[in-house]
Amino acid sequence: NKGKYEHYMQKEIHEQPESLTTTMRGRLIRGGSCKVKTVLLGGLKDHIKTIRRSRRIVFIGCGTSYNAALAARPIIEELSGVPVTMEIASDLVDRQGPIYREDTAVFVSQSGETADTLLALEYALENGALCVGITNTVGSAIARKTHCGIHINAGCEIGVASTKAYTSQIVVMAMLALAIGDDAISSQTRREAIIDGLIDLPNKVREVLKLDQEMKDLAKLLMAEQSLLVFGRGYNFATALEGALKVKEVSLMHSEGMLAGEMKHGPLALVDENLPIIVIATRDACFSKQQSVIQQLHARKGRLIVMCSKGDAASVCAGGSCRVIEVPQVEDCLQPVVNIVPLQLLAYHLTVLRGHNVDQPRNLAKSVTTQ
């Protein structure tokens, strides 16, 4: 049932404040007399110590689920100190890459049925790793075959393009980071800020959804373009990849997400006054580096659309002209959850304007059960 919405993708984008609330329900333990704030992930409770002691955490997934893990990687590394590596499921299987008994392999999949991810899971099980599932589908193959796991509880996702599952996956992995991270006094303030940030996140997503009309206007401006680049780094490298994936899979416009740090190593050759480029430059430790990327793109007359934190519009475009998308600022590791929303809206509106099928893009299936 689409309710008041025209498409499932639109409905699923707009219901993210609610799906995120459901994802966190019962899992964030607030206050109490001694004001301890903790995270409770029932499905992992017997395995937390093993994960914490593992030599490496390997995230494995495809498409949007891979991007969600990439968004969560920095906070898992920061809070747990365990090295994290990333594997696209098919590539791990193609290479028969090394997976060891001392590894924790985390399988991220909305459907829990993706063939490539399932094959990688069988491979990791054979190699003796502890296998953890993060899925949105109770009773799915990945949920059943892993040793333990977390359900993201985002509710059924019908649109082929994954939207609310992506943001819920990131939130689950941020909670995973808190659960496996040690609670040393030195990290207490950071942990509490993240927990407070999580609790307030549905409100911030509600706020960013108000950009709907602005994104529709931007879509009108871009609808006849051939191509769109998205530059991000740090926490928002994943946002660049995921924003571009949304645009290409539903609107059928070519789009590439790129690591801004790689710009000078090739992509800069593409820059001219015609190619639209979205630069994600919200406030975090990478902000000044992104400012210098913007300056370099300006110097080459790049056609820029900058996503920045509220209040930064004037300063990010200093010395040049560009369109801005202002988003509410949240704790840095949660910013990808907020930043992806305008790009989901942009992909949605581009698709409607270009006259393509929003919920069932050509050649794609919701659950990819073949290799």
* Interacting residues toward ligand F6R by CB under 6 A: 62-65, 109-111, 114, 117, 161-162, 245, 249, 367-368
Which of 204/248 has CB closer to ligand F6R?
Answer: 248
Which of 243/302 has CB closer to ligand F6R?
Answer: 243
Q: How far is the CB of 90 from ligand F6R (least distance, A)?
A: 11
Q: How far is the CB of 36 from ligand F6R (least distance, A)?
A: 34
Q: How far is the CB of 13 from ligand F6R (least distance, A)?
A: 12
Which of 63/197 has CB closer to ligand F6R?
Answer: 63
Burial of 226 per CB tally in 10 Å (0-12, 13-18, 19+): exposed
Which of 62/343 has CB closer to ligand F6R?
Answer: 62
Q: How far is the CB of 167 from ligand F6R (least distance, A)?
A: 12
Q: How far is the CB of 202 from ligand F6R (least distance, A)?
A: 22
- Give the CB-nearest residue to ligand F6R: 63
Sign of CA dihedral 323, 276, 65, 7: positive
Which of 99/141 has CB closer to ligand F6R?
Answer: 141
Which of 137/236 has CB closer to ligand F6R?
Answer: 137
Buried/exposed code over 313-332 (b: 16+ C-beta within 10 A; e: otherwise): eeebbeeeebbbbbbbbbbb
Task: State the amino acid at position 51 in one-letter form.
Answer: I
Q: How far is the CB of 111 from ligand F6R (least distance, A)?
A: 3
Which of 283/366 has CB closer to ligand F6R?
Answer: 366
Write out the two tokens for 258: 């790129």
Q: How far is the CB of 270 from ligand F6R (least distance, A)?
A: 24
Which of 249/332 has CB closer to ligand F6R?
Answer: 249
Write out the two tokens for 180: 């496996």
Task: State the amino acid at position 139 in one-letter form.
Answer: G
Which of 16/114 has CB closer to ligand F6R?
Answer: 114
Which 3-state string (H, E, C) describes the chain? Answer: CCCCCCCHHHHHHHCHHHHHHHHHCCCEECCCCCCCCEECCHHHCCCHHHHHHCCEEEEEECHHHHHHHHHHHHHHHHHHCCCEEEEEHHHHHHHCCCCCCCEEEEEEECCCCCHHHHHHHHHHHHCCCEEEEEECCCCCHHHHHCCEEEECCCCCCCCCCCCHHHHHHHHHHHHHHHHHCCCCHHHHHHHHHHHHHHHHHHHHHHHHHHHHHHHHHHHHHHCCCCEEEEEECHHHHHHHHHHHHHHHHHHCCEEEEEEHHHHHHCHHHHCCCCCEEEEEECCCCCHHHHHHHHHHHHHCCCEEEEEEECCCHHHHCCCCCCEEEEECCCCHHHHHHHHHHHHHHHHHHHHHHHCCCCCCCCCCCCCCCCC
Q: How far is the CB of 79 from ligand F6R (least distance, A)?
A: 24
Which of 38/367 has CB closer to ligand F6R?
Answer: 367
* CB-based contact 251:220 (threshold 8 Å): no
Q: How far is the CB of 135 from ligand F6R (least distance, A)?
A: 8
Q: How far is the CB of 182 from ligand F6R (least distance, A)?
A: 30
